DNA sequence: ATAACTTTTTAAATTTTTTTAATAAGTAAC
DNA sequence: GTTACTTATTAAAAAAATTTAAAAAGTTAT
């Protein structure tokens, strides 16, 4: 006996509508007809079914553009929630957001060391389950779990080859099984890029390079409007491109990597050296035993006008600019976005970066690339994780939401 | 009175079939059903219509895979020809090929200087028209003209911002008007990449970087199975990425560009210097006043085991390898193909390139990229030009072919 | 204020596509 | 050499999508 789902194409259209409404908030039938190249009656039918299923609601009339006012449809807020997770080497943030990306509960922040920590995966799962329980939101209202994390990640297959070893089974499969919610993972920088392109400063742009300025230097690439992950999912390893011939030794074992020359960690290191040598600066009272805190302190000091801090950042900015020149030559992007932790000093970095671009770029290329500073800030990765879930919104997720929802999908049995 | 073409979607399917048959040579209805996610009857209907229109013929039965043998369909050879053009700074090749990319007449090679030559465009048009006339192939059997050329090119709009100035009107529009055949242009390196991915060593691979080793160093990118051209069509400007801090002066005005360090022209230049200094080599009797001929001579000498030539090429190879390391970090491609003129010394370049990759690449990335040498050689650009035309095969082209063909499309008049 | 024109939605008719079933043509095991 | 099982094509029936037409709800110019 074989089970067969009917109306596959119709279900596809409905998923496309849900997905689109997540990004565009509200659309009329006419809008969607245009968007999906489907007739209005087809759209109308799908929308009505989605209303019956509880996913879509009428939102009211939009202003007329010269004729009858269009009836706008949007997603029902209570139908879909998304659990988002942003991990770095040391700490993990967990959050549940609604369909407007607004948090519905306080973000949970926990210490979770990724390196050499065999129990990290179980800890993560426990934290997620605890968080879901604490919010009281039923599991079947959560469309999916999106997780951003560092490491070499194969997003399609759901593996992280660097951290959170899950054995033969994929990481996403383990978390899906243990939480009961479809799970998706991706590289932190890719998710930041996704956030910037969907809801940030690079909104709707097709070819965007997002630089994740943090303790390393990540690169998330949007190519033809989609995240580009490369053949094995390792694209965007910007941190370790060889920049100078005999530069500083990098954690990767090679010399002259961009990360070893210009990351916030290196800036912090240089600041500590400088302070030890007696550099006059508002930083001189900082605890120099914790590079990461020094990093934050430098950025704050720079924004407050501290000359020494600005000098250090400018130096890093120039090197980043040189690397960006290479990136521009290869990719000819519409925009480059400075995002991640370092975005707060974006304005200070802008001048030296532009200077490097002028020196190392063919003018025609430099001029056709806009340099932007993120306004999403620290939230980018969490928003990106939500986008990741909704980009993968398909039959499976809808079934997960619908199983304990009101109606069930039409199925026929083939005899 | 408004004219409206019916069966738009059906026409689309038919174009998809023609396109696919160009790439796959022969397919059964079942194959196409799978490929296009359409029912067999839909495919069958479209194929029968295409046979009536004279585009498709039955090709015979393929071996059975356990059941009834599939009837294979292929394109009718006499229905579609493609005119391909490959231009470089000094000379232009023109050719007409059939649907199997086989030339149907001798390739025409003419001297045509691109730089500072206001009459270049008219000369090109004249040559194309003369060539078509000389072959006796009727214009309405030629699906399109594909042209590969150097310069900053916007393939979608059909402009070349560097050469062949066509004023306000697009270059493709001028040539289409003057020849009566739909025309498409693209960057030479992009077309070489297209050829390698469709009919060359990187066949069917999705993420491929093709290096066009010639007088410059070009880069054609296949991303997600499609040519990537960047935001303005300027992507792949690999020649001018800053490689060394205070390197040789480049024609672009900057220092340390890859092109200025490792192109065949530079190798030739170095050879001339070496010979003048009395280097012992089989090259010593070459005419040192023509760098380009020296370039060819060096490649030949290297392939014959000349130590000095090999040394020069190895040096260039190592620098190319360093640049490829950067490319691999950013793109994580499945394959890198060495193509263009320099492909003939690919085997000699391989070792120093690999050496550089070992030094400058994270092992995981280097290991997941295969380094290939083109077997299409000098023909790649012409084949790519044909692919460019067929990739753009759409309603317009089909109409062009069909106007003076046997049947005409069904049209209805809206009252 | 009214006529003329837009835009959106709904319902009925038509077209297109897919599903189903039947037929044809082959392979492989016994 | 049957029999059971695959695979491919064709034709008729069923389902789905689009086109067409009409109605509803506005805007704008006179």
A355–chain B Cβ distance below 8 A for any pair: no
* pLDDT at site B404: 44
* pLDDT at site B409: 32
Task: Residue A92: give the domain boundaries.
Answer: 81-192+380-402
Q: How many residues does chain B have?
A: 415
Q: Which of A193-202, A245-254, A292-301, B406-415 has the weakest average pLDDT?
A: B406-415
* pLDDT at site B37: 85
* pLDDT at site A141: 93
* Confidence category of residue B405, pLDDT binned at 50, 70, 90: very low
Within 8 A of B244 by CB-CB distance, chain A residues are: 245
**Is the same domain home to A187 and A211?**
no
- Percent of residues, chain A, with pLDDT higher than 90: 60
**Is the same domain home to B230 and B292?**
yes
Q: Find and list the nucleotides of strand C having atoms within 7 Å of a protein beta carbon.
A: 5-12, 16-20, 24-28
In a domain, B415, yes or no: no
Q: How far apart are CA B92 and CA A44, in angstroms?
A: 56
**Is the same domain home to B134 and B281?**
no
* Confidence category of residue A291, pLDDT binned at 50, 70, 90: low
**A318: which 2 tokens?**
């120039």
For chain A, give the mean pLDDT.
88
**A78: which 2 tokens?**
């209570």
Angle at A310 between CA A304 and CA A316, to 5 degrees: 140
In a domain, A412, yes or no: no
* Confidence category of residue A413, pLDDT binned at 50, 70, 90: very low
In a domain, A409, yes or no: no
* pLDDT at site B39: 86
* pLDDT at site B290: 66
Which of A262 and A369 is assigned the larger pLDDT? A369
Q: How far apart are CA B93 and CA B213, in angstroms?
A: 18
**Is the same domain home to B218 and B354?**
yes
User: What mean pLDDT comes out for the span A129-146?
Assistant: 95
Residues 246..275 of A with a Cβ closer than 8 Å to B: which? Answer: 252, 254
In a domain, A410, yes or no: no
Q: What's the CA–C1' distance between A31 and C12, in Å?
A: 24
Which residue carries 């649907």 as its tokens?
Answer: B99
Would you say residue A312 has pLDDT above 60? yes
* pLDDT at site B8: 64
* Confidence category of residue A262, pLDDT binned at 50, 70, 90: confident
Candidates A313, A201, A360; CA nearest to B257 is A360
Residue A231 and residue B152: Cβ atoms within 8 Å? no
Q: What is the dihedral of CA A297, A302, A308, A313, to 10 degrees?
A: 90
Would you say residue A407 has pLDDT above 60? no
B369–chain A Cβ distance below 8 A for any pair: yes
Residues 6+ apart with CB under 8 A from A361: A325, A328, A329
User: How many domains is chain A built from?
Assistant: 3
Protein residues with Cβ atoms closer than 7 angstroms to any atom of nucleic acid strand D: A 6-7, 9-10, 13, 37-42, 45, 61, 63-64, 66-69; B 8, 28-30, 40-41, 44, 64-71, 412, 414
In a domain, A234, yes or no: yes
User: What mean pLDDT comes out for the span B131-144?
Assistant: 95
Within 8 A of A153 by CB-CB distance, chain B residues are: none
A224–chain B Cβ distance below 8 A for any pair: yes
- Percent of residues, chain B, with pLDDT higher than 90: 58
Nearest nucleic acid nucleotide to A9, CA to C1' distance: D16
* pLDDT at site B401: 81
Q: How far apart are CA A335 and CA A332, in angstroms?
A: 9
Q: Which range is most confident: A259-273, B296-310, B399-413?
A: B296-310
* Closest chain A C-alpha to B213 CA, distance in angstroms: 16
**Is the same domain home to A214 and A353?**
yes
User: What mean pLDDT comes out for the span A162-172?
Assistant: 94
For chain B, give the mean pLDDT.
87
B402–chain A Cβ distance below 8 A for any pair: no
Tell me if residue B66 falls in helix, strand or coil: coil
Which of A397 and A53 is assigned the larger pLDDT? A53
Residue A330 and residue B206: Cβ atoms within 8 Å? no
**Is the same domain home to B153 and B46?**
no
Nearest nucleic acid nucleotide to B410, CA to C1' distance: C15
| Beta strand residue intervals within A150-250, DSSP E | 153-154, 159-160, 183-187, 208-213, 217-223, 226-227
In a domain, A408, yes or no: no
Q: Which of A269-273, B72-76, B177-181 has the weakest average pLDDT?
A: A269-273
Q: Which of A30-34, A102-106, A227-231, A350-354 has the weakest average pLDDT?
A: A30-34
Residue B237 and residue A326: Cβ atoms within 8 Å? no
Residue A362 and residue B333: Cβ atoms within 8 Å? no
Which of A66 and B95 is assigned the larger pLDDT? B95
Q: How far apart are CA A301 and CA A307, in angstroms?
A: 9
Domain CATH code at residue A295: 3.30.420.40
Residue pair B341/B264 in contact by the 8 Å Cβ criterion: yes
**Is the same domain home to B257 and B322?**
yes
Q: Which of A224-238, A280-294, A357-371, B167-181 has the weakest average pLDDT?
A: A280-294
- The alpha-helical segments, DSSP class H, found in A55-110 are none
**Is the same domain home to B92 and B183?**
yes
| Beta strand residue intervals within A122-274, DSSP E | 142-149, 153-154, 159-160, 183-187, 208-213, 217-223, 226-227
**A279: which 2 tokens?**
């550099």
pLDDT tens column, B218-259: 999 999 999 999 998 889 999 898 887 777 788 787 788 888
* pLDDT at site A295: 81
Residue A333 and residue B252: Cβ atoms within 8 Å? no
**Is the same domain home to B85 and B14?**
no
Q: What's the CA–C1' distance between B47 and D12, in Å?
A: 20
Q: How far apart are CA B138 and CA B177, in angstroms?
A: 16
Within 8 A of B207 by CB-CB distance, chain A residues are: 230-231
Domain CATH code at residue B30: 1.10.10.10
* pLDDT at site B4: 40
Give the one of A242, A325, A330 whose C-beta lies nearest to B235's C-beta: A330
A365–chain B Cβ distance below 8 A for any pair: yes
* pLDDT at site B289: 64
**Is the same domain home to B356 and B265?**
yes
Would you say residue A326 has pLDDT above 60? yes
- Cα maximum dimension of chain A: 84
Would you say residue A403 has pLDDT above 80? no
* pLDDT at site A89: 87
Would you say residue A275 has pLDDT above 60? yes
User: What mean pLDDT comes out for the span B346-364?
Assistant: 94
Candidates B190, B231, B225; CA nearest to B334 is B225
**Is the same domain home to B259 and B326?**
yes
**A221: which 2 tokens?**
């690439």
**Is the same domain home to B99 and B234?**
no
In a domain, B185, yes or no: yes
pLDDT tens column, B186-200: 999 999 999 999 999
Would you say residue B319 has pLDDT above 60? yes
* pLDDT at site B410: 32
A163–chain B Cβ distance below 8 A for any pair: no
pLDDT tens column, B7-62: 566 788 889 999 999 999 989 888 888 888 888 888 988 898 888 888 999 888 88
Residue A233 and residue B330: Cβ atoms within 8 Å? no
Q: Which of A367-381, B371-385, B401-415 has the weakest average pLDDT?
A: B401-415
Residue A207 and residue B327: Cβ atoms within 8 Å? no
In a domain, A413, yes or no: no
Would you say residue A198 has pLDDT above 50? yes
């Amino acid at each position: 006996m074989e089970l067969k789902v009917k109306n596959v194409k119709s279900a596809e259209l409905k998923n496309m509508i849900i997905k689109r409404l997540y990004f565009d908030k509200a659309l009329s039938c006419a809008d969607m007809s245009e968007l999906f190249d489907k007739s209005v009656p087809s759209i109308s039918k799908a929308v009505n079914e989605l209303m019956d299923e509880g996913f879509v609601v009428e939102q009211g009339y939009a202003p007329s553009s010269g004729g009858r006012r269009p009836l706008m449809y949007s997603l029902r807020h209570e139908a879909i929630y998304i659990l988002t997770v942003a991990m770095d080497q040391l700490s993990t943030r967990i959050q549940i957001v609604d369909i407007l990306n607004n948090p519905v509960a306080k973000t949970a922040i926990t210490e979770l060391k990724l390196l050499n920590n065999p129990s990290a995966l179980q800890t993560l799962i426990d934290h997620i389950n605890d968080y879901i329980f604490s919010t009281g939101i039923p599991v079947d209202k959560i469309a999916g779990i999106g997780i951003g994390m560092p490491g070499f990640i194969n997003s399609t297959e759901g593996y992280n080859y660097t951290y959170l070893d899950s054995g033969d089974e994929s990481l996403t499969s383990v978390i899906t099984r243990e939480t009961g919610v479809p799970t998706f993972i991706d590289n932190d920088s890719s998710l930041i890029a996704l956030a910037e392109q969907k809801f940030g400063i690079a909104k709707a742009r097709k070819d965007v390079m997002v630089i994740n300025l943090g303790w390393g230097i990540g690169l998330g690439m949007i190519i033809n409007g989609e995240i580009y992950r490369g053949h094995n999912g390792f694209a965007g390893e910007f941190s370790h491109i060889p920049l100078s011939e005999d530069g500083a030794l990098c954690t990767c074992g090679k010399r002259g990597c961009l990360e070893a020359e210009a990351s916030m960690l290196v800036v912090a290191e240089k600041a500590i050296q400088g302070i030890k040598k007696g550099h006059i600066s508002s930083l001189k009272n900082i605890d120099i035993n914790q590079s990461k805190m020094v990093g934050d302190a430098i950025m704050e000091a720079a924004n407050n006008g501290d000359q020494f801090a600005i000098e250090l950042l400018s130096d890093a900015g120039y090197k980043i600019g040189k690397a960006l020149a290479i990136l521009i030559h290869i990719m000819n992007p519409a925009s480059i976005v400075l995002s991640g932790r370092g975005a707060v000093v974006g304005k200070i970095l802008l001048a030296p970066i532009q200077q490097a671009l002028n020196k190392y770029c063919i003018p025609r290329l430099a001029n056709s690339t806009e340099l932007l500073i993120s306004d999403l800030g620290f939230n980018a990765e969490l928003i990106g994780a939500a986008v990741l879930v909704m980009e993968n919104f398909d039959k499976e997720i809808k079934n997960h939401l619908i199983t304990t929802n009101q109606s069930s999908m039409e199925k026929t049995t083939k005899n």
